[in-house]
Structure 1
Amino acid sequence: MALLDGKRVAFLLTDGFEDSELTAPWEAARNAGAEAHLVSPASGTVTGEHGYTQAVDASTRATSADDFDALVLPGGVGNADALRLDAEAVRLAHEFFAQHKPVAVICHGAWILADADVLSGRTLTSYPSLKTDLVNAGATWVDEQVVVDQGLVSSRTPDDLPAFTARMIEEIAEGPHSGQTA
C-alpha cells in the first residue's frame, strides 16, 4: 500500500503556471498513490510558462474542498496573479484551510493565500518578491527551502522542489491538522 492510497489531491492553477511546479508535485503525489486532479477557472487545457500543457479535470466553480484531501498551489507569476483575481479560486483555497486540510504552495502560488485571508499568525516562505504582501496579510515570512506550519507546506522556487515534494507527501499523509485554520 502506497503512502497516499485513497487520497484525492487538487492542483489549483491556470495558464502561466511554472511547469516544474506542477509536474514534480503531481508526479510525487501519483507515485505515492494519490489521485491528482487539475482544478482551474480555465476549461479544456492549461499551458505553463515553458509550454507544458495539461487537461483540466474540474472547474473552480463546480469544485469544493469537500471533494479532496489536500490542495497544491503551483507558482508562476501569470498563474498566481490570475488565480487571486478569481473569486471561485479564492473561495476554494479558503475552504481547504477552514476544513483543516493540508495545503502545499510554492513560489508565487502563495499570492492567493493573502486574498483568501488565511495567513494571520502563519509562518511560510515564497518567492522573495511576495514577502511584503504575505507579511501585510499577517504572515511571518522566512527565507528557507521549505517551511511546514500546521499542515501548510511552502517553498521558494523550483530549486526547492525535492524538499517541497517530500514534505508535501508527509503532510498529506498525516491528514487534517487542527492548526490549519481560516
Structure 2
Amino acid sequence: MKAIVVAANGFEDIELSYPYYRLIEEGIEAYIATPGSKEIVGKNNSTYEPDLGINEIETEEYALMVLPGGKSPEHLRIESKDLIRYIKEFNENNKLISAICHGPQLLISADILEDRNATCYWSIKDDLENAGANFLDKRVVVDKNIITSRYPDDLPKFMEKTIDKLVD
C-alpha cells in the first residue's frame, strides 16, 4: 500500500514529518512529492528531499494523499493545477485524502467539499463554509473518503483515524 504526502516550501514541519513517519511505522510505503522535484524547507527550517515531483504522481498507484498545512497549501493551490486535478481524481475514485490545518485549502480549490463535513485551522473556516462544507470544530472529522483536522496538537488522532480508514 502506498501513500503520497504533498508539500511545498513553508509547510508546517510537524504536519509533514508526523504523518510521513507514522505511515512508515505502519508498514505503508510513504513518498513525498514537491513542485519541480525540488527540496522543500518548512516554516521551522526542516528540509525534505522529494521522492518525485507533483507532476509525476500517478494517482492509481496511491491509496492515500496527505496534505500538510502551513503556507504550503496556499502556494500549491496557485502553482500546481496538476495537484488540484489529482485531488479531484482521488475523490472521484473514493481514495482517501487527509488534510490538516491549512491543507483543506487544496480541497476547497479542488471544489470537493460541497455538502461535506470538514474541519480546518480557524483562519480558513469561512473559506471552508463558502465552499459549501459543513464546518465542525472537532479534532478530526471523517466524511467518507475525506479526513480533516485542525491543528498540530490533533496529529495523533488525525493519523489514528487516517490509518484506521486506510487499512479498513
TM-score by length of 1: 0.89
The corresponding residue for 2:32 is 38
Kindly indicate whether residue 48 of structure 2 is the aligned counterpart of residue 54 of structure 1: yes
Kindly indicate whether residue 95 of structure 2 is the aligned counterpart of residue 101 of structure 1: yes
Kindly indicate whether residue 52 of structure 2 is the aligned counterpart of residue 83 of structure 1: no
The corresponding residue for 1:68 is 62
SS of the aligned residue for 1:56 comes to coil
- Cα distance between partner residues in 1 of 2:29 and 2:102: 24
The structural deviation recorded for 1:44 is 2.7
Kindly indicate whether residue 3 of structure 2 is the aligned counterpart of residue 9 of structure 1: yes
The corresponding residue for 2:129 is 135
SS of the aligned residue for 1:14 comes to coil
Q: Percent identity?
A: 35
SS of the aligned residue for 1:108 comes to coil
Q: What letter matches 2:37 in structure 1?
A: S
CA RMSD between the two structures: 1.0
Q: Mark the runs of 5 or more structure 1 residues left unpaired by the alignment.
A: 1-6, 175-182
- Cα distance between partner residues in 2 of 1:89 and 1:13: 10
SS of the aligned residue for 1:61 comes to helix
Kindly indicate whether residue 145 of structure 2 is the aligned counterpart of residue 151 of structure 1: yes
- Cα distance between partner residues in 2 of 1:65 and 1:120: 22
SS of the aligned residue for 2:22 comes to helix
Deviations 1:103-159 (A, max 9, x none): 111000110111101101110100011111111111101111111111211110001
Note if contact 2:88-2:110 (Cα within 8 Å) is conserved in structure 1.
Answer: yes
TM-score by length of 2: 0.96
Kindly indicate whether residue 165 of structure 2 is the aligned counterpart of residue 171 of structure 1: yes
The corresponding residue for 1:177 is none
**Alignment length (residue pairs):** 167
- Cα distance between partner residues in 1 of 2:126 and 2:2: 33
- Cα distance between partner residues in 1 of 2:127 and 2:29: 32
Note if contact 1:41-1:89 (Cα within 8 Å) is conserved in structure 2.
Answer: no
The structural deviation recorded for 1:61 is 1.3
SS of the aligned residue for 1:103 comes to strand
